[in-house]
Chain A
Amino acid sequence: MGSFDYLLHGFGIALQPMNLLWALIGSALGTAIGVLPGIGPALTIALLLPVTVAIAPTAAFIMFAGVLYGAMYGGSTTSILINTPGESGSMMTALEGNKMARDGRGAAALATAAIGSFVAGTIATIALTFLAPYVAELAFIFRPADYFALILLAFCSVAVVMGSSRVRGFIALLLGIAMGTVGIDVMTGQPRLNFGVMGLLNGIELTVVLVSLFAVGEILFVASRYDPGQETPISVRGRWMTREDFRRSWKPWLRGTVLGFPMGVLPGGGSEIPTMLSYTLERKLCEKPEEFGTTGAIEGVAGPEAANNAAAAGVLVPLLTLGLPTSATAAILLAAFQNYGLQPGPNLFTSNADLVWGLIASLYIGNAMLLILNLPLVGMWVRLLSIPKPQLYAGILVFALIGIWGVSGSQIDLIVMVIVGVAGYVMRVYDFPIAPVLIGLILGPMAEYQLRTALLSRQGSPWVLVETPISIAFLVVAALTFVLPPLIRRLRARS
């Protein structure tokens, strides 16, 4: 069977009424949390993880995929209507989109964002469909040393790319790796770094750390610098996309997709750089450059929004094929797989074909659902913004408590929550990136396992790490990530 046959089979699974319902729940929930401040896709999936005890893995991942994509759509709505980009990926959308809305073209901006997201999401999913099996095949020839080099590359790029300072990026990453070593060592059975605390023998759960950093840290930070200035969303009315708008939008959609997808696939690519590149590119190619920064140029919304969604789909390639998460959301998805006793990677495509292809097929369906949920119904989502902020953040804390207490009902987890939550506050105040902590926490143990397996196979000779061309290539690229940031900074300064 080729990819196409597998995909048809996947549609058979994703189109089952119950799975359609899960996709709808996920998409609606994703859009809602994308609109709401203080809660993003990673935190939502972490809080939904306890639910996985009750539902089958296929249904759970179809719902999670809906949350992942839906958050992108919801995020662009708030960027355009109230100029608050919920995440770094929609920062560029806010630049032009909000200006368009102020100029009475809010409906057109929302439409080009939603349709662009749909176009990019669908094209990127097609790319995922046909690329993933090949990458998975490739992974079969990876040896432990290659995997170790690949994870090292992911570490370097995540620490370098995310955030404003390499030193702080690496500190965040190493704190995550350090937390990952706590607990029983899988290879020797020895307890490590638990300092006699029995409750830490099982290690520190990713869910606990993620919820503490994203919910508790965020609540502490916003509470301490709360700005109650009530932002009123700009009216959605105004003229819809004209023929002229379509003519100006379709090329940026495609260019954004071409930029976003590969950057999402690469470790550490994330969504910030592709959206920034797309914005810079559109600004350069635009026929009416005078609209940029004044009345708002539609190209500046169409391109970055497409890049954002394509990157989100791209992140799924390394996650599904290699088990390599490159964003906070991907890290929690990996934890969800582990909750079910599944290990993403090449074997997943053969051992759990129903799950993988059902999930991929549901991405197509979710995208179509989201287009419908977001175009005619956008007014409904905007109404969510009228929830009073004090009660909204209070509610987030209650759900965070349930998410953490529900993991194992352990008092230690609650203590970890407070310590990591305060750390999350400090990291926000002193501008340390958060995602590398989570990547280090989940990939650290994997890196260590691969390293030790590789060394074991050669009686401890470190030369095993540079024996294959694959591992050498990854290590060289890892070294290169140190050269790239100055280049990126120059780009940022230009835009």
Chain B
Amino acid sequence: MQQDSRPSRPWWLAAIVVALGAVCVLGAASLPAASRYAGIGPGTVPRLVGIALIVLGLILAVQIARGETFEPQGTENADAALPMNPLAFALALVAAVLPIFALQTLGLPLVAMVSFTLVARSFGSRRLLVDLVSGAILGALAWYLFDRLGLQLGGFMPFAGLG
């Protein structure tokens, strides 16, 4: 394995930081930089933040070039030394993306059921039916309780006309 002798060089990290800085600077370009009285205007802070991000991104690139090491943070139940499991990551990501498209039409309980099952599966759960049922119960119960508290969570199952 070559990985041990050569540090990985995540150039893309520095590129993203520089790009985000550029987005701030571009977004600020259409804003007036200075008002007559304050000397600075609504565009000043976004512009300064953008420039600072670009500079920091470049410093990060220099650090990466010098072989800076990045160690994953330690958390409970995760082994930072393990290689990434792309399938588990993808399943959990789908669980988070799904609500964007489905929450408005399917309603919270159903989306909670599917997302719950997806996350449980990404953590290696094989009990599909149990997960589906627990997710549905948790989603329905939470919807009911928070609805009673006055929270606007949308319809129970909007596509079926259930409010």
Whether B24 and A226, one on each chain, are in contact in the complex, defined by CB atoms closer than 8 angstroms, is no
Give the B-binding residues of A (Cβ under 8 A): 37-38, 50-51, 53-54, 78, 84, 86, 165, 167-168, 170-171, 174-175, 177-178, 181, 185, 187-188, 190, 192-193, 195, 216, 218-228, 388-391, 393-395, 397-399, 401-402, 405-406, 409, 411, 414-415, 417-418, 421-422, 425-426, 428-431, 444, 448, 451-452, 455-456, 459-462
Chain B residue with Cβ nearest A406: B151
Kindly provide the distance from the CB of A387 to the nearest chain B CB, expressed in whole angstroms. Answer: 11
Other 17 A-B pairs with CB < 8 A, given A50-B146, A193-B46, A391-B131 = A37-B75, A54-B150, A174-B49, A174-B53, A178-B53, A188-B41, A222-B123, A223-B91, A224-B92, A226-B85, A227-B77, A227-B79, A388-B125, A394-B116, A398-B115, A452-B38, A462-B39
- Is chain B's binding surface mostly helix, strand, loop or mixed? helix
Kindly provide the distance from the CB of A65 to the nearest chain B CB, expressed in whole angstroms. Answer: 21
Whether A167 and B49, one on each chain, are in contact in the complex, defined by CB atoms closer than 8 angstroms, is no
Whether A175 and B42, one on each chain, are in contact in the complex, defined by CB atoms closer than 8 angstroms, is no
**Could you give, for residues 14-35 of chain B, a 1 whenever the CB lies within 8 Å of some chain A CB and a 0 otherwise?**
0001001001100110011011
Whether A188 and B119, one on each chain, are in contact in the complex, defined by CB atoms closer than 8 angstroms, is no
Whether B27 and A192, one on each chain, are in contact in the complex, defined by CB atoms closer than 8 angstroms, is yes
Q: List 16 A-B contacts (CB under 8 A).
A: A38-B75, A167-B59, A170-B52, A178-B53, A190-B42, A192-B31, A193-B46, A216-B96, A223-B88, A224-B88, A226-B85, A388-B125, A391-B120, A394-B135, A415-B100, A430-B10
Whether B53 and A389, one on each chain, are in contact in the complex, defined by CB atoms closer than 8 angstroms, is no
Chain B residue with Cβ nearest A184: B42
Whether B40 and A218, one on each chain, are in contact in the complex, defined by CB atoms closer than 8 angstroms, is no
Whether B108 and A402, one on each chain, are in contact in the complex, defined by CB atoms closer than 8 angstroms, is yes
- Which of A390, A402, A426 gathers the greatest number of chain B CB atoms within 10 Å? A390
Which 9 A-B pairs give the minimum distances between C-beta atoms? A460-B39, A37-B76, A390-B123, A390-B125, A227-B79, A394-B119, A224-B89, A193-B27, A390-B120
Whether A422 and B151, one on each chain, are in contact in the complex, defined by CB atoms closer than 8 angstroms, is no
User: With a CB–CB cut-off of 8 A, which chain A residues contact B122?
Assistant: 223, 226, 390
Whether A228 and B124, one on each chain, are in contact in the complex, defined by CB atoms closer than 8 angstroms, is yes
A175 and B21 CA atoms in complex are apart in Å by: 9
Query: Contacts A50-B149, A223-B89, A460-B40 known; A391 to B82 CB distance under 8 Å?
Result: no
